[in-house]
Each structure stands twice: as structure tokens, then as C-alpha cells.
Amino acid sequence: MEMSSVEDAGGEPSGRRPEGLMRVGSGASDVIDPEVGGSGGAEAESGRKLLSSRYKGVVPQPNGRWGAQIYEKHRRVWLGTFDDEASAAWAYDVAAQRFRGRDGVANFEPLEEEADEAELAFIRARSKAEVVDMLRKHTYRDELRQSKQAASTAAASKRPAATAAPPEKERQHLFDKAATPSDVGKLNRLVIPKQHAEKYFPLGEDDAGALLSFEDGDGKLWRFRYSYWNSSQSYVLTRGWSQFVKEKALAAGDVVSFHRSASEEKRLFIEAKARGGAPPAARRFRLFGVDIVGSSINGEIENNKRKSDDYDGVEKIKQQRQAAFD
């Protein structure tokens, strides 16, 4: 994964800075207007300055917001822009935990091995680029929460059968969605009808999205990125969806069914059914010990038959021409 968030020291984060503003100082935490202080380095010092942050790795922005950054091998890694100074300082601490480990200097209380074991494991299991990406997209907390829920579900699966997926009667059926060709195509997304999305998976006004965890009929956990696309004004499940389509052999017209447990845990469930009601996986069969998707093998047989018919037609024409010469 290309580390697009890494920039040369002294560079600027993505987004155009208002004309006439420039950064000075080794920490690049002050912004001045050179027209006020005149030209030249010495005269610029007398210009108007924005206040420096009291936190490490935090820089003020001309628009009143706060940026977070960390240095890696003399190169700056931009962590994103935040509404308040403390949030930017928190983002720096998260990145410092991944980039520096326990030796990193933090603005707030550092994570402890025992009290924050789950979060430390979450950070260590992800690359630096992944942590930076979550901070810049403001999805870190959502993904951390989903990771903890997944770990809790995995631990519960190792307990006695009482923790298994609840019977059908203990589930609340939410809604069904008939898959369209684009839902099972290359777009890697399932459009959730607006009325169901806003009722069962509501997003806050400032939410950039969330990770939703579902269990299928086999108890396998699926995690999808859930967000609202302004371009098409639709709610969608994205990241992870294409793998679900592939494993379940979903086709256009198949039905994706959503359920929720009746218990206080409110676990979410997802099922896939063919148009006739049977699971799409039922279209598979075994050939020489290998699982074959029926539609795929049938298509291959049809192609081979077409090739054979074409070959027979060519041979027949050759025989007719030969008979004419004879």
C-alpha cells in the first residue's frame, strides 16, 4: 500500500493553503502573513503569528482547525485535520504508539499493557499506513470498537453451545434486499434501501461511516464498511462485500436477508438465498473432489459445445468442397 500520507519535512498537508500564508520555524507550527511583517526572514518574525499548540505533534491551521503530524525518518506524516486541539493531540498519541512504541512521548496518559490490552493489540496488528489512514478518515474509533466486538464474538464462540447463533425464532427479521446486477458486479458495494438504512443502521450527521459486523448461517463473521455516498445519495455496504459475493456465489436476483438478535447484544446476521429460496451455495456440486459452481461449469460446457458445433460445421463445409472437386 503506497504511503501517500508521507510528505517531505516542511511540506503541507493535502488541500490548498490560503494565498500569502507560509510556515516558519523548525516545528512548522506557526503560520504568518508575510505581507504584514514585510519581506525577508528577519522582518517576517514581526508579522502576525498564529498561536503554537501546547501539544506535541499539533499545528494550528489558518481556518481555525488543528492538524496533527508525526515525523518518521526525517519525513513528515500528516495525520489529518481536527476540530479541536485535544483531538489532534490524541491522534498524535495513537500514531506515536504505532511509530514509536512504548518509548514514544505522548500528550496524554500512554496506553497500559493490562488496562488497554485490546487497543494495543489492535494498533500492533496494523501497519503504520493503515493506522494513518484511519486517523485521516476519522474511522479509528469505529474500527477499534468493531475489532473489540469481533474479538468478543470470537471468544464467545469458544464457549459452550449456549453462545451459538440464536435460533430463527429468537431473531428479528429486519429486511430483505434483492441483489441487482450492480450489487454483484465489480463495484464492490451493496446498496441498502434508504428506508431500511435509516431505520436499522442510522448514521450521525458527522459520521463518515462505520464498520458493521454480521454473522452468517455458518457462524462466520463478516465486516463491511457502511457509509453514505453523496454522489448517488445512497447507503452502501462496501469494503468486504465482494468477498461475500464470491464466497456465497451470489447472482442477480438472489436475496440478501438481514436479521438482528432479540437479546440485548443486538447481534447482526446476514443470509444469502437464491431466487428459489435455497442458499446460493446449493448451486455448487463436487467434481473429482473439487467444489464447482454450477453456473460456471454449465457456462464452460456451453462454450465447449459451441466450439464443437463450430468445428463440425467447418468440417462439413470442407467435405462438401472436396466432393465438388471430385
With cut-offs at 50, 70 and 90, classify the pLDDT of residue 111.
confident
Looking at residues 220-233, what average pLDDT do you find? 88
pLDDT of residue 78: 95
**Do 27 and 92 meet the contact criterion of CB atoms below 8 Å apart?**
no
With cut-offs at 50, 70 and 90, classify the pLDDT of residue 14.
very low
Lowest mean pLDDT among 124-133, 249-258, 265-274: 265-274
| Coil/strand/helix, residue 237 | strand
Higher pLDDT, 224 or 44: 224
How far, CA to CA in Å, does 207 sit from each of 14, 58, 80, 226, 290?
Answer: 21, 23, 16, 10, 44
pLDDT of residue 85: 94
| CATH architecture, range 164-281 | Beta Barrel (2.40)
Q: What percent of the chain has pLDDT over 70?
A: 63
Looking at residues 166-175, what average pLDDT do you find? 74
**Do 69 and 78 meet the contact criterion of CB atoms below 8 Å apart?**
yes
pLDDT of residue 90: 94
Sequence ranges of the domains in the chain: 6-138, 164-281, 295-325
**Distance, CA of 152 to CA of 13 (rounded, Å):** 37
With cut-offs at 50, 70 and 90, classify the pLDDT of residue 219.
confident
Task: Kindly state the cell numbers that stand for 121.
Answer: 493489540
- 221: closest CA among 212, 233, 210, 230? 212
Task: Kindly state the cell numbers that stand for 324.
Answer: 465438388
pLDDT of residue 83: 92
**Distance, CA of 219 to CA of 242 (rounded, Å):** 19
pTM higher than the cut 0.85: no
What count of other Cβ atoms lies within 10 Å of the Cβ of residue 122?
A: 20
* Confidence check: pLDDT of 38 > 60: no
**For the segment 68-95, what is each residue's pLDDT rounded down to a tens digit?**
999 999 999 999 999 999 999 999 999 9
* Confidence check: pLDDT of 121 > 70: yes
* Confidence check: pLDDT of 27 > 60: no
pLDDT of residue 29: 38
Q: Average pLDDT, whole number, for the chain? A: 74
Q: For 282, phi and psi rounded to 5 degrees?
A: -65, -15
With cut-offs at 50, 70 and 90, classify the pLDDT of residue 115.
low
Superfamily of domain covering 6-138: AP2/ERF domain (3.30.730.10)
Higher pLDDT, 155 or 146: 146
Q: What percent of the chain has pLDDT over 90?
A: 27
Topology match between the domains 6-138 and 164-281: no
Higher pLDDT, 101 or 275: 101
**For the segment 264-304, what is each residue's pLDDT rounded down to a tens digit?**
767 899 999 887 655 554 445 555 555 554 444 444 444 45
